[in-house]
Amino acid sequence: MTPVLDPVLRARVGDFLTDYVHAIDDDRLEDWPGFFTPEALYHITTRESDEAGLPIGIMHCEGRGMMEDRIKALRTANIFEPHRYCHLLGATRLADKGSGILSARTNFSVTRTMQDGGSTVFATGTYRDEIDVSSDTLALRSRRVVLESRRVDVLLVIPL
Amino acid sequence: MTASSTTQRSDSATPPPERDGPPFVWPAEGVTRVPFQLFSDPAIYKLEQEKIFRGPVWHFLCLELDLKEPGDYRTGFIGETPIIAVRDRDGNINGMVNRCAHKGALVCHKERGNAKALSCVYHSWTYDLKGNLMGLAFRDGLRGKGGMPSDFKTKDHRLQPIRTAVFAGMVFGTFSDETPDVETFFGSEMCKILRRNFSRPLKLLGYHSQIIHNNWKLYAENVRDSYHATLLHTFYTTFKINRLDMDGGIRITNAAKPWHHLSFAKRATLEAADEYKKAEVHSAAYENRLAGPELLETWDEFDDGITHSIQALFPTLAIQFTLNSLAVRWFTPRGVDKTELFWMYLGYQDDDEAEQRMRVMQANLTGAAGLVSLEDGCINEFVQRGTRGEGQRANAFMEMGGKTVESSEASRATEVAIRGFWTGYREIMGFEAEQPG
């Protein structure tokens, strides 16, 4: 694992990962696809399926178009009880993959608050990322969201 | 207590538990009415454990692909009862209650695994792969002291067996000696569809589950509810995905036992497809509003024209073939108002890369985050919350598509399959109709 020692780059990555979860928590979901490269992979799966190498998880987007469709569906088509997330991030372990790509692993926990005030831990897991740092604007080339649990409470519609 | 008094026997002769209060009666209108009480009454829930889950019904346990090698086991549930399905060294699949004959502890505490023998971790009572007790720790005591009495016989203490059957790669179990064989139970037409869908060696592509906060029967209704499909689930219509050519219906093939059904749709007749091709509108209509249209890339896998199907098999199993997305869904009660819904996504071992990719993409349509189906995670809870606490004062009203229970080849705007479910449920539960007047 090639360490990333440049403190400026580490700070930029930290801000980037924080901005991502704040966009979701603040309901700026239309901004969400913009955190990815145009052809990026976004994949939510479970630890069990990940370890078994199963290709189908819980959500799978290849490219920003599919991510935009997810958000459009959430806003206009899908029906669900209103709820909001609050993400908590753990420390990020970075490694330099070369060619302007960093790999990053960050644990997260998400509470979900329903309209009646009920607030529970909805999801806990790990972001396994490949981040393109070759230009001024950072972007996820791949984000695999590996959930600890294979059991989703009620439904999953807002991305993690 | 003698050894024989602890021997487990088949529960089929156990009388149902007594209910407090007035006996439950079904409304005189029959299965077009369903009392809301059925979704929240703990006594009825308890009765269902005996009558439905230990009754004359085949319950889905796992797929044969879960049990490839001798010693492979998979644990699960029939109702609330923990079950083991295991392949023995003769190649047979055996089902048994996952409960040690000694103190009642779970014998297998992992969801899946491989074992030479089934051994309870509590006191090392060890069973062979057929469930026979082979031995136990300190049977003869220590240094000549203690141990089991001289009349103790291992053959009196096996794991409680259940009948199992394998059909089209699926493993079923039943507690009842009365359950007819699988093909009779589901009927030949339903079995034909199962054989169509599971005709080739399967490959597991994905697996997850969902907790839904409603009585299990609300999901049993929901998966049979062809009336709600385009009303609650608006993904297709929002994205202007062409549905004009979707013609389909509901098949209930066993008039005497209309408990199972197939809901199907045909995306395009050949004639229509040609017209669309000439006018070059078909692909346009299919793709023009999706920013990521590869979500819906598909190919025709079968020559019967059916492109979407859901087959609901009484009581808690459904097989979906949505475009090319094959999945087994089954659900398990976790209390009167809580249900776990399992999703197992499948392909075939001989799928090529492009075919598997399409199945992966289309898996976005269903499951806990399904673009088309995620509403089902909450809609049944809305009914649960809307009906909680009702006694026999209020009923669901279900006369869409008529009052009868028969095939509806022309239309899916019908509640016929739900009425079919309740027909089976009433028959097994023995709920008589109230006298009119």
Residue-wise pLDDT for A26-74, tens only, equals: 999 999 999 999 999 999 999 999 999 999 999 999 999 999 999 999 9
Chain B residues within 8 A of A48 when measuring between CB atoms: 207
- Residue B33 sits at the chain A interface (C-beta within 8 Å): no
Q: Which residue of A has its CA nearest to B240?
A: A77
A90 has a pLDDT exceeding 70: yes
Confidence (pLDDT) at B265:
86
Rounding to the nearest 10 degrees, give the CA dihedral for residues A4, A9, A11, A13: -90
Between CA B83 and CA B108 the distance in angstroms is 9
Question: Measured over all CA atoms, what is the biggest interatomic distance in chain B, rounded to whole angstroms?
Answer: 91
Residue B384: closest CA among B312, B314, B333, B319: B333
For chain B, list residues with pLDDT below 50: 1-14, 16, 244-245, 269-273, 275-276, 279-287
Q: Which of A46, A68, A154 sits opposite B378 (nearest CB)?
A: A154
Shortest CA gap A92–chain B (Å): 27
Q: Beta strands B202-212 and B247-251: pairing type?
A: unpaired
- Residue B369 sits at the chain A interface (C-beta within 8 Å): yes
What integer is the mean pLDDT of A74-95? Answer: 96
Confidence (pLDDT) at B436:
66
CB pairs under 8 A between A and B: 128
Confidence (pLDDT) at B9:
41
- Residue B231 sits at the chain A interface (C-beta within 8 Å): no
**On the CB side of B178, how many CA atoms lie within 13 Å of its CA?**
10
Q: Quick check: B295 and A78 CB within 8 A?
A: no
Confidence (pLDDT) at A126:
98
* 3 state SS of A31: helix
Confidence (pLDDT) at B437:
57
Q: Is the ipTM of this complex over 0.90?
A: yes
Confidence (pLDDT) at B414:
87
Shortest CA gap B272–chain A (Å): 28
Cα end-to-end span (Å), chain B: 54
Q: Which of B208, B292, B345 sits opposite A46 (nearest CB)?
A: B208
Q: Quick check: B235 and A77 CB within 8 A?
A: yes
